[in-house]
Amino acid sequence: MPQSNPILAASAVIRDESSRILLVQRANPPDMGCWTLPGGRVDPGETLEQAAIREVFEETGLTISIIRELGQLDLSDGKGGVYEIHDFLAEKLSGEAVAGDDATAIGWFRSDELPELSLTPALLQYLSRYGVYP
């Protein structure tokens, strides 16, 4: 069976003044209950950057600015499809971080705290590849 088009998604690595990384705890499948970067699907007509900015605002209440793309990865959606996720480095412009629509919880974490969390698969490997962990 031929592979369908990937589902485009975008997420952001946001750090605070103490170099902690902002993570959200997923409220929905896939990986419900796991901590990950804020992000989600790209809507029709959106650029990857616009999707990352919108998703971060919806999930965290923060307004961000994209600095640069860190990288791209493909993850299974668990139903035979593939998410093509583009991760961006971003900075907080304004707002107070609060859990939004797809997040059960939200938190700022130091690099040494990340291995103790229930993270989405391979998150630490991708963050390391991008040069933002540890």
Residue 114 lies in a domain: yes
Residue 92 lies in a domain: yes
Residue 110 lies in a domain: yes
CATH code of the domain covering residue 93: 3.90.79.10
Per-residue pLDDT tens over the stretch 9-51: 999 999 999 999 999 999 988 889 999 999 999 999 999 999 9
Task: Count up the domains in the chain and report the number.
Answer: 1
Model-level pTM? 0.94
Which string of DSSP letters, residue by residue, matches the chain? -PPPPPEEEEEEEEB-TT-PEEEEEESSSSSTT-EE-SEEEPPTT--HHHHHHHHHHHHH--EEEEEEEEEEEEEE-SSS-EEEEEEEEEEEEE------TTEEEEEEE-GGGGGGS-BPTTHHHHHHHTT---
Residue 2 lies in a domain: no
Residue 109, domain extent = 7-129
